């Protein structure tokens, strides 16, 4: 079969099990249909593995197998390994939702699979994985026997791959929303319209932390989405939890999440407002502020503007929080790494003129593993700050 041949000296990343091949590393590209799986060889002809290729994408190739393992077998084995990695970590009586496949983090480029109770939700980012979708669905249905398999592939990255958004039912019946448990706390997950695949599973461990530190505090949950941090703070003994988000639909579900957990509706207010404006409101009296914004840097060239945005909201939060107070601040832009994010928070602290200490650092929950050979899979970082 015709193979992709890498330039001499440009095979190191693939040999080190990094999944991506950029066009600059390729010497010969054979005739192929975009999305096809091709063998990858070094300049001397040694087989390095198999990857899927798409000329339209800035990442021309993504490896699905290394060495001489056949690619479809590697995908099946990757799925089994991803399931095995999560097996036994979750008590099903307490936690019923988890990420099953974290793309390159699990050696499966372009594939996200989240399980909400007995409903599986897939998100596919690339044409190559789109072509592998039937195999993936068949394999996961056999292993998990879910009530339904839904697709929520509405990523901007798909455009670059020449793909439209795709949403719908891949198996079973349509499901509007599903109730999940996380560490014994109940949440509604909107599957038809929500963000991501419906819920920010990557914040599970931060939610547990919020529950632990919120007692007696007045929380401002900025970028609240469906209010998961507010619910956890109140269950942890916060006296109030106010939620701010521009999405009215998300806040409506947040209110339902209060009810679901037996929290009184006056335990917090819901503001459909821009956080940048809200943090300038004169009457804030919160001594705990959470900042969990969407990724401000979606590509490398956005980093400078993104850092300005992160600095602004962090400066405002550090200025406005009642002392002694807590600020839990996150960035989920993978282009803004932890070192850079800490510098941004440092600048914000200086400009706010506050005493600020880092109590803890956070990353994405452990069912979102970072592949040691592919560090781009790390994206979420957060600091719990003490301000006095
Ligand atoms: N903390 C949430 C997830 C936040 S996701 C959780 O744990 O579930 C980011 C949220 O920010 C989204 O709900 C989005 O609607 C909201 N958002 C984006 N830009 C905003 C802005 N400028 N002001 C307020 N909310 C915003």
DSSP result, 197-246: TSS-GGGHHHHHHHHHH-TT-EEEEES-TTTHHHHHHHHTT-SEEEEE-S
Q: Are 64 and 50 in contact (CB under 8 A)?
A: yes
pTM of the model: 0.96
Answer yes or no: is the C-beta of 250 below 6 A from any ligand 1 atom: yes
* SS3 category, 70: coil
Give residue 250 CA to ligand 1 midpoint distance, Å: 9
Does residue 307 carry a catalytic annotation?
Answer: no
What letter would DSSP give residue 268? -
* SS3 category, 175: coil
Using the CB atoms, write b or e for 257-291: b if 16+ within 10 Å.
Answer: bbeebebeeebbebbeeebeebbeeeebebbbbbb
The active-site residue out of 332, 345, 365, 385 is 332
Phi first, then psi, for residue 382 (nearest 5°) are: -155, 155
Full pLDDT tens readout for the chain, 388 residues: 689 999 999 999 999 999 999 999 999 999 999 999 999 999 999 999 999 999 999 999 999 999 999 999 999 999 999 999 999 899 999 999 999 999 999 999 999 999 999 999 999 999 999 999 999 999 999 999 999 999 999 988 899 999 999 999 999 999 999 999 999 999 999 998 777 889 999 999 999 999 999 999 999 999 999 999 999 999 999 999 999 999 999 999 999 999 999 999 899 999 999 999 999 999 999 999 999 999 998 888 999 999 999 999 999 999 999 999 999 999 999 899 999 999 999 999 999 999 999 999 999 999 999 999 999 999 999 999 999 9
Q: Are 211 and 228 in contact (CB under 8 A)?
A: no
Q: List the domains of the chain with CATH numbers.
A: 4-69 (2.30.130.10), 72-176 (3.30.750.80), 200-387 (3.40.50.150)
SS3 of 299-346: the string is CHHHHHHHHHHHHHHHHHHHHHCCCCEEEEEEECCCCCCHHHHHHHHH
Q: Which of 268, 252, 319 is nearest to 291 (CA)?
A: 319
What's CA 41's distance to the chain center, in Å? 33
Written as six digits, the tokens of 368 are 């979102």
Answer yes or no: is the C-beta of 20 below 6 A from any ligand 1 atom: no
Give residue 115 CA to ligand 1 midpoint distance, Å: 22
DSSP secondary structure string for all residues of 105-156: GGT-TTEEEEEETTEEEEEE-SHHHHHHHHHHHHHHHHHH--SEEEEEE--T
Q: Are 341 and 381 in contact (CB under 8 A)?
A: yes
Q: Ligand 1 atom closest to Cα of 221?
A: 1
Answer yes or no: is the C-beta of 296 below 6 A from any ligand 1 atom: no
């Amino acid at each position: 079969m015709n193979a992709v041949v890498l330039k001499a000296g440009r095979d190191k990343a693939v040999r080190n099990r990094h999944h991506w091949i950029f066009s600059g590393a390729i010497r010969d590209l054979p005739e192929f249909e975009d999305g096809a799986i091709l063998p990858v060889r070094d300049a001397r002809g040694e087989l390095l593995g198999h990857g899927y290729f798409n000329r339209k994408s800035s990442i021309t190739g993504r490896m699905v197998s290394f060495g001489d393992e056949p690619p479809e077998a590697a995908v099946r084995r990757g799925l089994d390994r991803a399931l095995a990695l999560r097996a036994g970590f979750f008590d099903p009586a307490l936690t019923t939702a988890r990420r099953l496949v974290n793309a390159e983090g699990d050696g499966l480029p372009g594939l996200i699979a989240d399980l909400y109770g007995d409903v599986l939700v897939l998100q596919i980012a690339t044409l190559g994985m789109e072509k592998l979708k039937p195999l993936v669905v068949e394999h996961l249905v056999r292993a998990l026997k879910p009530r339904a398999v839904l697709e929520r592939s509405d990523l901007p990255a798909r455009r670059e791959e020449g793909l439209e958004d795709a949403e719908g039912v891949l198996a079973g019946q349509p499901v509007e929303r599903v109730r999940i448990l996380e560490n014994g706390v109940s949440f509604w997950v909107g599957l038809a319209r929500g963000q991501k695949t419906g819920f920010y599973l990557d914040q599970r461990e931060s939610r547990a932390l919020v529950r632990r530190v919120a007692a007696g505090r007045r929380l401002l949950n900025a970028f609240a989405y469906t209010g998961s941090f507010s619910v956890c703070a109140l269950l942890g003994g916060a006296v109030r939890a106010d939620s701010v988000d521009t999405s009215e639909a998300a806040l409506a579900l947040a209110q339902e999440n209060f009810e679901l957990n037996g929290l009184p509706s006056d335990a917090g207010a819901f503001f459909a407002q821009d956080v940048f404006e809200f943090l300038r409101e004169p009457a804030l009296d919160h001594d705990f502020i959470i900042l969990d914004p969407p990724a401000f840097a979606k590509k490398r060239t956005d980093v400078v503007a993104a850092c300005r945005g992160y600095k602004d909201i962090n400066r405002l939060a550090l200025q406005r929080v009642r002392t002694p107070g807590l600020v839990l601040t996150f960035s989920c832009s993978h282009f803004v790494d932890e070192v850079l994010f800490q510098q941004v928070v440092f600048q914000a602290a200086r400009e706010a003129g506050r005493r600020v200490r880092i109590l803890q650092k956070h990353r994405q929950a452990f069912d979102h593993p970072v592949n040691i050979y592919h560090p781009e899979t790390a994206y979420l970082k957060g600091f719990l700050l003490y301000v006095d």
